[in-house]
A = this chain, B = another copy of it.
Amino acid sequence: MEYKAPLRDIRFALYEVLGYAEHFASLPRGEAATPETVDAVFDEFARLCEEVLEPIYRSGDEEGCTWDAGEVRTPSGFREAYLHYATSGWAGISSDPVYGGQGLPSSMSRVLGEMMGAANTGFTLYTAGQAGAIETLAAHGTPEQRDLYERQLIAGTWNATMCLTEPHCGSDLGLLRTKAEPQADGSYAISGTKIFITGGEHDLTENIVHIVLARLPDAPPGNKGISLFIVPKYLAGADGELSDRNRVFCGSIEHKMGIKASATCVMNFDGATGYLLGQLNRGLNGMFTFMNTSRVATAVQGVTHAELGFQKSLAYARERLQMRSLTGAKNPEGPADPIIVHPDVRRMLMTQKAFAEGNRMLVYYLARHIDVVEDGQDQAARAASQDRLDFLTPVAKAFATETGFESANLGMQCLGGHGYIREWGLEQNVRDARIAMLYEGTTGIQALDLLSRKVLGSGGKMVADFTQEIEHFCRSATGEPELEPYLIELRELVDEWRAISLRIAEDAEKDLEVVGAVSVQYLMYAGYVSLAYLWARAYSAALLGLAQSPQDADFYRAKQSTAAFYFEHILPRTRTCSEIISAGASSLMSLPEEHFRF
């Protein structure tokens, strides 16, 4: 029951559904991304995941991280695996070649992130802060800062964190208190406590670069007084040579439900030397770029948990013999039938499959738009892609992680009581998956961002634009009788989506609480319809595949079956969402706070 990278499905989503061949060809960075190179990169990385990272998946969870007097030891094998990862150049696969990166499109990082996350979520998190810091430095760093820090991060010799959260301030960053006092030499003395810092301290690299949100003493209150600082664990000369230990220390690590191989640190900044990154008081703006891509990266985790649960429970369902099929023995020689013959087991497997493959398409769809924003040649196309990203990033983050967690639980459920036992690895997947709905903005925060800032904030334009794209697809795909029922359903949903959005906008004028009351249902609705769109595209791509590559007919027919399952067994969830949305806020807000319990 080990993880195998689903390379065939990855290629289907990229090339056959989402047109990545033409997409790569249209990008300056895509020049190197020939189909051969891309395949070679994926194959090579799949091997790393399967052979190096997967074998330390469970042991990393069992062993966890240990904290001793401010030092953190990662689980056995993590240091060697990280070295392997870093020295092979994977950290900079889509980074700037000027600083040592490979300069490939960033969408490829998402694909690698998916394989890595499924093989070993805990390990993957040590690469997340690094990626975020590289990106933030690339966007806001001076050439000197980039040459020093970004180069080391790309080389993987140093690691990095993003330090946002404080004990009293999670979603509400305006409350943050960490102080930055200007020093005579132009640096800043950073003081404060940050919590939930992934990889804040560890033994993987010689240095760790913290990107820290803090406030100058005279900064305006709230969001507009936050600046970004680079705070390395060890100060370094321009050549990267380490000198003094900086005054930033790991006070403790959290004891968590899952992702135990990842050190989640309390970081104490005790007058640590920091360097301003970007403009004063504009730190939160600097953060938004990073937050958005880290949200897409978290959406990828939703894919990984669904994929992993699916692979493991499928293997079990093929082996485990229990009871006979309702329609007669399917394994008459054996004492019972394999449980995959039972429709309810199939329901659980198909649900995982539909979410793993569906959310994979959703994430790659977004990754394509990120490529365009970062590297597109056409200004209008870049703006359109940015809009689509702004709109769908909260959807993908929350929807993929919610359904990823659901899938992880279904994977466990397929094993019955055995799923609850650690040795099978399914319960680890559930525990690891659970964090994804919380960090990088909870589902509730994503939903509010979607409905309040994006839908209502754009006056409905973002919904109009995306639903137009869906309608455009429906028109272009018309003519295939097999596809037609799905297109009809999709068109109806598009109409309903617009009507719902409009009605919420009207209701919100009377009572603003409506927005918060229905936001999560709205987001889930948007997610189910977005996935229906992508499953319809997959069905359409499968039709083409059947015509062009009959030797792959089994693969394409399986796609069609999964699309049909999605439309028949998953998409009806929109019925509940739309009915709850119409209920509004009243029964949520009527109960006085002091009467919740007696």
- Residues of A at the B interface (CB closer than 8 Å) are 6, 8-9, 165, 168-172, 175, 196, 254-258, 310-311, 314, 318, 321-323, 326-327, 335-336, 338, 340-350, 353, 409, 412-413, 416-423, 427, 430-431, 434-435, 437-439, 442-444, 447-448, 452, 511-517, 519-520, 554-555, 557-558, 561-562, 564-565, 568-569, 572-573, 575-576, 579-580, 583, 585-593, 595-598
Contact = CB atoms under 8 A, between A and B. Distances in A.
User: Which 6 A-B residue pairings sit nearest by Cβ, starting from the closest?
Assistant: A343-B516, A572-B579, A575-B575, A568-B583, A257-B427, A343-B517
Given A419-B438, A589-B346, A257 B431 contact: yes
9 contacts: A8-B598, A196-B417, A343-B514, A343-B588, A413-B442, A419-B438, A554-B592, A558-B595, A575-B579
Contacts of A323: 171-172
A129 to B, nearest CB: 15
A256 B422 contact: yes
A485 to B, nearest CB: 12
B431 A513 contact: no
B413 A558 contact: no
A215 B549 CA distance: 56
Contacts of A417: 165, 170, 196, 435, 438-439
Number of chain copies forming the complex: 2
A151 B335 CA distance: 40
Given A257-B421, A558-B595, A572-B579, 16 more contacts: A6-B597, A170-B322, A172-B322, A175-B322, A175-B335, A256-B427, A258-B420, A343-B585, A343-B589, A344-B516, A345-B444, A430-B434, A561-B590, A565-B587, A572-B583, A575-B576
A450 to B, nearest CB: 12
Given A327-B512, A569-B583, A416 B442 contact: yes
A519 B344 contact: yes
Nearest to A444: B344
A568 to B, nearest CB: 4
B572 A517 contact: no
A513 B438 contact: no
A572 B525 CA distance: 14
A343 B421 CA distance: 37
Nearest to A325: B513
Contacts of A573: 576
Contacts of A258: 420
Contact of A437 (B8, B255, B342, B413): B413
A474 to B, nearest CB: 21
A427 B435 CA distance: 10
Contacts of A512: 326-327
A444 B348 CA distance: 10
A577 to B, nearest CB: 8
Contacts of A9: 598
A522 to B, nearest CB: 11
